[in-house]
Each structure stands twice: as C-alpha cells, then as structure tokens.
Structure 1
Amino acid sequence: MEKKDFTSGIVLLLTGAAFFAGSLFLPWKETGYDWFGAPGLVPAILAVLLALCGLRLIIRSRKEHDFYARLTDAAPCFCAEEDEEEQAAEEKGRPAWMDREAPRAVIAAGLCCAYILLLGRVPYMAATAAFITAFILLFRGAGVLKSICIGGAASVSIWFVFYKIFAVFLP
C-alpha cells in the first residue's frame, strides 16, 4: 500500500503545483481587486492544500511503513474479500488492479461525462442529484432509497450554499 500512497502523493503534489501555477495567471491586482478579493486567491489556496495532502501521503509512505498494519490491528478487517480477490488475480498471472481499479476508473469517467452532458439540458439540482445517486449506487455505497436521499440532500445543499449564500450562478 505504501507504493500506492507514494504514487498518489506525487500525482496530488504535481496537480496542486500545476493548479497553483494556473491560479497565478488569474487576475490579482491589475483589475482593481484587493489581494483578498482576487479571483486567483481561492484556487491558489485549494492548490496549496491539495499539494500538502500529496506531500503528506509521500511522507507517510516513506516514514510510517507500519501505518496500515496499525490500522488493521486497531479495527477489525472488513477487506478480506479484496485480499482474496488480489490473491486470485495474482494466481491468474495478472495484477489485481486490472480486475478492479481500471473498470472503476472507466465507470467514474463515464459518470462524469454523462453529468457534463446533462448540465444545461436538465435542471442543475436534478442532474446533480442523479449524478451523486448513480455514483453511490454503482460503487455500492448504500441502498437505493438511501442513495436517492443522499443524492437529493447533497444536491439541494450544494445549490443552497453556492447559489443563495455565495451568489454563484449555477448551470
């Protein structure tokens, strides 16, 4: 697991650095904004936080080799099925990620593309609720009724926070 943390950490660190560099190209002072009202401030802060999360993963993968062992010792393991799947895949001669992560990434990308296509054609709250509900259902996060409730509540909450509180126009 440490190798996955290291790789993920590098990806997050580089993504955060790229986003930070991009935020520097947004208006800062030349358009009359104060530094705290500049459009580039929030993306810069989020980029730094993302990079710090990546850095934390890299450090943990190098310094805390027993991190996952301590987690499994402290709590009962609910991942026995995944361990069995990994062993079965290794016996077949192919890595376990080919059985699980690749299809999950394709499904997630497909859901994101479908959501993008829905935006503007379907009301925002309905598209967002459908996206969140589908994500929860496909990745087995909850049952149908609970997924619908979570998707609807999250959609309304997102709309309320951004549209009513921050006055951000949503598609």
Structure 2
Amino acid sequence: MTENRSYLQKYAMHFGTYMGVYWILKFILFPLGLSIPFLLFLFVGLTLGVPFMGYYYVRTYRDKVCGGSIKFLQAWIFTVFMYMFAALLTAVAHFIYFRFIDHGFIIQTYMAMLETMDKNNVPGMGGYMEQLRDLMDTISSLTPIDITMQLMSQNVFYGSLLAIPTALFVMRKPKSPEMQPL
C-alpha cells in the first residue's frame, strides 16, 4: 500500500508539472488577449482543454502504473493531487507576473472596458455598473500574494470538482482471471 501511495504522489507530481507548465503558457495568453482578441479566444479554448488533458494523464497513470485498473477513490485522489501540484507551480508564475510585470494592467484594462460600456449605455448594465466598479476597486486593492493565493485556491477547488467526473470516466475494475485469454 505504501508503494502505491508513493507511486501515486510521484506520478501526480510528474503529470502535475506538465499541466502546470501548460497552465503557465496558457496564462501568458490572458493579459496579451486583453489587447489581441484572438489570443483571448485561444486562452479560452486552451482552458476548455484542461479537463481532457487531466483525463489523458489519469488514464495514462491507470494503464501504465496501475496495470489497467483503478478504483474511483484512487483516481480521484490522483487527479486532485495532480491539479494541486499544477496549481502550486502556476502560483509561482502568477506571483511573478502580478508582482513584477502587471503593474495594474489587467485592472486598468477592465476599468477602461467599464468606462466604454458606461459611455455607450449598454442595455441592461445600468444597475450593475456601480457594483462592477466597486468590485474592480476591491480587486485593485489586493496585493500580488493575495491575488496569487486566490487564483491558486480557485485552481485547486475547480480541479477537485473536475476530479469527480474524471475519476468516474477513468475507473476500471481489474479483469478477472477467467476472462483473460490463454
């Protein structure tokens, strides 16, 4: 059992590193996408690909390490660990970006969008504009470490939710000896 746990952690770190690098490369597209819409579209598309990437990694773990069978709980724990390790690696990049690179760019861009919407009297937004401004003021008061911790906790939370359907799709009972060909 201890050997299985060490394999689980080792491979969760391994695949979590791959996913973390993917998330970092994907994150680079977000601030760029605020100026170039195609890059924001690409960011959203790559974000939608994360669950499929997670499924592929858990399936690979099941087939290569677990001999083709894995229980739901083991698959769920592996997936949560993988997303957690990816979130930890990505948090380093988030902190570096918000501490040394951003200098309020994202907030200023969103504030400019709000001003444009306010000037153009976008239908249905009248009551929400003040709430959105208050939200932007609150977000702009956060420190880089606050933003990083918030993003990391969101990544872990959503990863643990994604782990449920992933584990359901990946789990497989061991084949019984009488069903295997001779």
User: Above 0.5 in TM-score?
Assistant: no
Q: Of the two structures, which has the highest relative contact order with CA contacts closer than 8 Å and spacing of 6 or more?
A: 2
Which TM-score applies when normalising by structure 2?
Answer: 0.27
